[in-house]
Each structure stands twice: as structure tokens, then as C-alpha cells.
Amino acid sequence: MASHTAAHYFIEGLVDLGIDYLFSNFGTDHVSLIEALADWDRDGRPHPRVVICPHENVAVHMAGGYAAVTGKGQVVVVHVDAGTANASMGMHNLSRGRTPVFLMAGKAPFSLHGELPGSRDNYVHFVQDPFDIASLVRSYVKWEYSLPSGVVAKEVLRRGHTMMQSDPKGPVYLTLPRETLAESWDESAIKAFPESRYGAVASGGAEPAVALRIAERLIAAKNPIAVTTYLGRNPAAVAVLDALSRECGIRVFEASPTNVNIPRNSPCFGGYDVRAAVAAADVGMLLDVDVPWLPKYVPDNTALCWLQVDVDAVKKDFPMWGFPTEERVQGDCATVLSQVLEIVRARGDAAFRARVAARIAGWDKDNAERIARNSAAAAKTGTLGAITPDHLCAALNAQISADDFVVNEAIRNMVAVLNQMVRTKPGTYMALAGGGLGFGGGAALGVKLARPQHRVIHVVGDGSFHFGAPTAVYAVAQQYGLPTFTVVLDNGGWQAVKESVLRVYPDGQAKQVNEFHSLLSGEHRHFEQVAAAFGAHAEAVDDPAALSAAIARCIGAVDKGQAAVLTVRVTPL
């Protein structure tokens, strides 16, 4: 019987899981994996493709972008505690986004004197051996483990993969001691752990009695509303929500959406500010939403009955939450809302449908006014060196298609992107779920990898661009032929910091002297030149009259296979 290293069986295990990519930043701890991959290449055996990422932030978010589009968690390989630390902010974002990614870090060798293959042979093996490496990401993962022996490599991989892919999905973490990967084992000792017997568990529907109660509430409602953030992570749920909202006359609001949750040209779409609607509603639905509003600014409507359907109804990773509901269902929104829709269609009579039709028609004026406000904002071009974000986003929208994918990392200008770049199709939009800026460049690459036939437009603020390890982003774009279009909104700093100070101290000293310690000033600010160093098409524009032509040139470059970055001088802080 043939004998192989644990690393060999580890790669076999990855193939068994159906892993497509290893987004990697290898180190001295991965020698056995690198050798095993070379053996597999020599023998012509297919294995997950290695994508080298010069920074772990890009690797993690690239895997996240790929998973967000495909639903399939991929592997990220990083170097001991140093790589884990660099990846930790991304893991925070993935955790809040319930995005499946399998982070794997090597561990410094535990043998000092050459007792085992892979023993310490480098200075860094002493300094990269912390007491608790997993503590760097433990708050952000569903599962963490250290591979104890090569004989269980496939079982450990299956367990981690099952935890990652089970609802609510999320990142997991595995450490790999160098000596363990170098162990040799006979093939007869290695067992298989197929998905059919050890695979993930998905959320389902509601108990029939619960679905009936929800349907009855909606049929009786005079002014029902719904709030959602990430229902659209399952594209099938989008059409179901739109159909249910039309059937019941539900006004649907998106709260800091991370996905397209309802077509934004639907007559039932109410925009992004639910405050006024809460005061007037009698029935509300919280559908896959973490923070539907800020309680500080929205008075409680005690007459409003809230119904919750969420893949993570108890918010298990939130120490405090604070949104009361009368009905709580942990399940898949597409399935549960389909159940409710079927009941409503069966039970709704002519009088009910007439009330619904009148209610939806009553929104025409509000919808028209919202569109007019957005159009008026887009028409304000700004001035030289101060192009308005709304005008910029409208100009972008005019040159992209409904199938193109938008990654929104504009942060304080996020609403301009939402209002002007109207997404109507499921799976064409992504935004930051966590609090770690710098996600978008890597995420855009992952989306492009998953959807090479579609354009991917990354709209990012200048502050976030700094955080995103942009040299690594455009190095990967060049090396692997992943042309994305990045638009940098350069307002000269972090507007979020200034606005936060003003909310707490509206007439304070910081306002009096106009010093918020959030400016990023300097004689030269050319974000596009960072990308140009790695072969990207690079432009900057500060004149509204030149904007559309600059966008067209950038899109032309992307369509020819070249990444593009456009820096736009927008209204300054």
C-alpha cells in the first residue's frame, strides 16, 4: 500500500469538498503543502487552483466575494499568527456578512531539535509561536480547531466545511502544525467522509401554523411594512419578497442593504429610511436584517406587531440586540415567504385584493417624488474639484448594464450609490456587512473570478481605498486577468469621523475651529497611480464636464481586459 504525507491527503480532502480555489499567502509553515501540490502537478492530478495574494486582507475578501456570488466557501491559506492577524479584519467582515470562508493558518513547528520532519529550522519559528493563535479570530468564527494528526485530515476538513456551509453560514478557522503536515501515512489508514453522510444543514420553512398566523396578520393589516438588509444573499428570495409585497401591499424598506433584496423599481419599494413608516404601520416584518433602524432615533410604536423571519433570528453573535418581535422564525426567507404567499393567494378575497391595489396605487406619488429628488440631486454637477457624488454615480449608472455588479464601499456616500445606481436584478450588488474598511477591492476580484463575463464596478471612498491593500489588489488583477473598474471618491478624508463628532457635539469646539482630525491632505493625491504601477488603466477627473468621457475610457479598458481606476475629486469635507 502506497504511503503519502498528510499534506497529500489534505489536498485530497480539499478535492473531496469541491473547493475551487486556495487564496494564499504562503510561508515557511506550508512547505509540505507546496511540495504535495508540486507532486500533484507532476502527476497531472487536478486540485484547487492556487491564487497568490500579496496581502491577506485581499485573500480573505476575495474568497468572500467569490462565496457571496456562488454560495460556495473557499479556502484562504495564511502564514501563522502574522497572516492570521492580517486576515482578522476580513474575518470580522465575513462573520457579520454570514459569508462562508475556510481560513487556514500554518503553525510554527513544535519540535526544536530536529526530532521530526518539519522541525524548527528558522529564527521566525520561535517568534511566531504565540500561546493562543486562534484568539486572533475566535470572536469571528463558527468553529476553530488545530489539525492533530494527518490520519484525520479528511475528517477535520469535512467537519470545518460542514460548519462553514451550514445555516447561518460563516467563516471557520483551522491551524496546521508543520510536523503534522509532514507526517507519512499509508493509504489504508485514510478514510473518506462524503457530503451525503457528513454534509451541511440548510435552514428551511416555518411550521404550517406559524406560516398561517403570519398570513392572517398580513391579510388583516391596513398598513404593513417590511425591513430587510441581506435577504437577497439568496437570490431566489428576492422574487418571492416582491411577489408577497405586491400580493399583500407591503411597503418594503432596505436598511443599509448588503444585497439587492427587492427590485428597486418595484412599486412596493419604499427606499432606505423606514423611520416615518414605523410610526404609521400596524404590521411589520423583519426579514434577514440585523439593524433595521437606530432605536435612538425611531420612537417605539407599541401598536405595531412585528413578525421576524431570519436565518439568524436570535442574533447569536450580538451581545445585545434590542428589537422586540411578536413572532420569531429562524428559517430561510425564500421558503417561509413562499409558504405565506401560497396561503395569502388561497385565502385573499376580492375585497382584500381591492384594498391592496388601492394601497399600492397610493404609493405612486411617494415613489415619483423619491425618483424626482434623486434626479434633482444627480443634476447638480458640482464645480471644478468638487463633483457631487450623486452626479458621479448617475454618470456611472448611465454607462453600465443591469447585469453588471456593483461593490459599494462609498461609506458616507453609500446612499448616493444606492439612489443613483439603481440595481433591479438579484445578485448584482454587494456592500460592507461589518465595520472593517478596505473590503471592496478584494471582494470585487472574487466576484470577477466567479463571474468573468460581467463587469464589476467598485465604488470606494478615499479613506477605504487606503485600507484595502491596493497594491495587492491590482497585482492580483494583473496576474490572474481579473479586470475590475474602481472609482475612488476623493473627498479628502474620513467624512464619517466628522459626522460622528457633530452628532454628539453639534455646537462643540471641534465645529467652531473646524478640526475633526479626519483630513487626508497632501500636495499629491493620485490613487489611480497605485493601480497604474501594476498595469491598470489610470485616470483622474475633477471637472464635471469631463466625467462621462473618463468613465467611458475606463469601461473600454476593462472590456478589453485591463483593470481601471478612476479618481474623482468630489465635494470635499
According to DSSP, the β-strands at 327-330 and 382-383 are unpaired
Cell reading at 473: 489588489
Task: Report the candidate in 364, 343, 352, 349 with the shortest Cα–Cα distance to residue 244.
Answer: 343
Give me the residue label for grid cell 433584496: 261
Per-residue pLDDT at 1 exceeds 80: no
User: What value, to the nearest 5°, has the Cα angle with vertex 492 and ends 490 and 497?
Assistant: 115
Task: Report the candidate in 567, 485, 474 with the shortest Cα–Cα distance to residue 528.
Answer: 567
One DSSP character per residue, 366-386 reads HHHHHHHHHHHHHH--EETTE
Q: How confident is the model at residue 3 (pLDDT cuts 50, 70, 90)?
A: very high
Q: Which of the pair, 323 or 520, is modelled with greater confidence? A: 323
| pLDDT tens per residue across span 348-360 | 999 999 999 999 9
Q: Residue 219, CB half-sphere, CA atoms under 13 Å: how many?
A: 19
pLDDT of residue 485: 98
Q: How many CB atoms lie within 10 A of CB 90?
A: 31
| pLDDT tens per residue across span 250-303 | 999 999 999 999 999 999 999 999 999 999 999 999 999 999 999 999 988 999
Please give the average per-residue pLDDT across 529-550, as a whole number. Answer: 98
Per-residue pLDDT at 418 exceeds 90: yes
User: Coil, strand or helix: which one is 485?
Assistant: strand
Per-residue pLDDT at 53 exceeds 80: yes
Q: How confident is the model at residue 112 (pLDDT cuts 50, 70, 90)?
A: very high
- Quick one: 276 exposed, middle or buried, by C-beta within 10 A (0-12, 13-18, 19+)? exposed
- Of the chain, the percentage scoring pLDDT greater than 70 comes to 100
According to DSSP, the β-strands at 74-78 and 456-461 are unpaired
Q: How confident is the model at residue 516 (pLDDT cuts 50, 70, 90)?
A: confident
Query: Residue 458: beta bridge partners?
Result: 407, 486
In the chain, the amino acid numbered 257 is P
Residues with Cβ within 8 Å of residue 476, at least 6 apart in sequence: 51, 52, 53, 54, 58, 62, 445, 482
pLDDT of residue 496: 81
Chain centroid to CA 378: 27
Using CA atoms, how far apart are residues 374 and 417, in angstroms rounded to an integer?
11
Using CA atoms, how far apart are residues 349 and 460, in angstroms rounded to an integer?
49
| pLDDT tens per residue across span 165-214 | 999 999 999 999 999 999 999 999 999 999 999 999 999 999 999 999 99
Per-residue pLDDT at 494 exceeds 80: no
- Of the chain, the percentage scoring pLDDT greater than 90 comes to 90
Chain centroid to CA 422: 19
| pLDDT tens per residue across span 21-33 | 999 999 999 999 9
Q: How confident is the model at residue 392 (pLDDT cuts 50, 70, 90)?
A: very high
Check whether the bond before 168 is cis (ω within 30° of 0): yes
Using CA atoms, how far apart are residues 30 and 7, in angstroms rounded to an integer?
9
pLDDT of residue 106: 93
pLDDT of residue 215: 98
In contact, 64 and 445? CB cutoff 8 Å: no
Write down the H helix ranges in 331-469: 333-347, 350-361, 364-379, 389-397, 414-420, 440-450, 462-467
Using CA atoms, how far apart are residues 216 and 206, in angstroms rounded to an integer?
14
pLDDT of residue 315: 96
- Quick one: 549 exposed, middle or buried, by C-beta within 10 A (0-12, 13-18, 19+)? exposed
Using CA atoms, how far apart are residues 523 and 31, in angstroms rounded to an integer?
45
Mean pLDDT of the chain: 96
3-state secondary structure 392-403: HHHHHHCCCCCC
